[in-house]
Amino acid sequence: QQQVRQSPQSLTVWEGETAILNCSYEDSTFDYFPWYHQFPGESPALLIAIRPVSNKKEDGRFTIFFNKREKKFSLHIADSQPGDSATYFCAASAGNTGNYKYVFGAGTRLKVIA
Amino acid sequence: DPKIIQKPKYLVAVTGSEKILICEQYLGHNAMYWYRQSAKKPLEFMFSYSYQKLMDNQTASSRFQPQSSKKNHLDLQITALKPDDSATYFCASSRPPGHNYAEQFFGPGTRLTVL
C-alpha cells in the first residue's frame, strides 16, 4: 500500500535539543526518501534525502536514519534553533518503477523554543 | 529569478466556474508534477508528466485536466469548481524518470478559494 505514516503530528523542543521526527512505509518498491520543510506561506523545500543503499545520511545538523528491514526512517535535527520552526514532511518515491511521484506523510509541526 | 513560476498567486472563484492554473519551469527539467495541499490532505499528489506525456494520474475526478503546451509548461484546468477544491496547488519539476536524480523542486503555489 502506497502510504507514508509520520509522527508526531507536532513537536516542541528547546533550543539546543535534538528533534526527532519519524516516518514509516509499507511499499517495498519505494527507493528514495526525501525530507522537506515548509515555512508558513511558502512552498516545500528539500532538506535532505536518502536511498536504501545507506542507513544514514548527514548534512550539517540534519541526519536521516534509515531502517530498511523495519521500513522506518527518521530525521534528527541536532542543536535545534528557533529558525528550524516549520512543518516537516517526509516522503517516498519508487523511481525504479519509472514514476517519481512523491507520497508524502501528513507532516510534523516543529516548534523550537529559545 | 524564480525558477518555477506559478500564476496567479491567489485565485478566488465561484462554485461551478472554470479556472486554469499556470506553471512554467526554467530548470531544464523534463518531468513536471501537480500537488495539492489543504487542511484535510497535506501535499497530495495529483499528476506527473514526463516529456509532455502523462505518467500518472491520481485524481479521481475528470474535472482536473493537466495541459502541456510546451515542455516547460504544465497548466492545470479545473472545471465545475466546488468549495472542496479550495487548496493551495503546487507545481513541481525534476529530471525525468529513469534519471538517477529524483529531487523535485516546488513552485510558490496558487492558493485557490472556491466560494
CA distance A72 to A66: 6
Average pLDDT across chain A, whole number = 94
% pLDDT > 70, chain B:
92
DSSP labels, B24-61:
EE-S--SEEEEEEE-SSSSSEEEEEEETTEEEEE--S-
Q: How confident is the model at residue B7 (pLDDT cuts 50, 70, 90)?
A: very high
pLDDT beyond 70 at A94:
yes
- Listed in sequence order, the residues at least 6 apart from A6 whose beta carbon sits closer than 8 Å to its beta carbon are A21, A22, A23, A89, A90, A105, A106, A107, A108
- CA angle centred on A34, ends A112 and A77, rounded to 5°: 25
pLDDT digits (tens, 9 = 90+) for A50-89: 998 889 999 999 999 999 999 999 999 999 999 999 999 9
B107 Cβ under 8 Å from any chain A Cβ: yes
Q: How confident is the model at residue A100 (pLDDT cuts 50, 70, 90)?
A: confident
| Rounded CA Rg of chain A | 14
User: What's the confidence (pLDDT) of residue A1?
Assistant: 61
Chain B partners within 8 Å of A43 (Cβ):
90, 106-109
Phi-psi region of B89 (alpha: psi -120 to 50; beta: other; left: phi over 0): beta
pLDDT digits (tens, 9 = 90+) for A33-48: 999 999 999 999 999 9
Q: In this structure, what C-alpha cell is assigned to residue A112?
A: 523550537
> CB count, 10 Å around CB of A26?
12
Find the residue in A nearest to B90 (Cα): A43
User: DSSP label at A66?
Assistant: E
Average pLDDT of span B47-59: 88
Average pLDDT of span B60-71: 91
Mutate to test the interface with B, among A101, A103, A104, A109 (most CBs of B within 10 A): A101
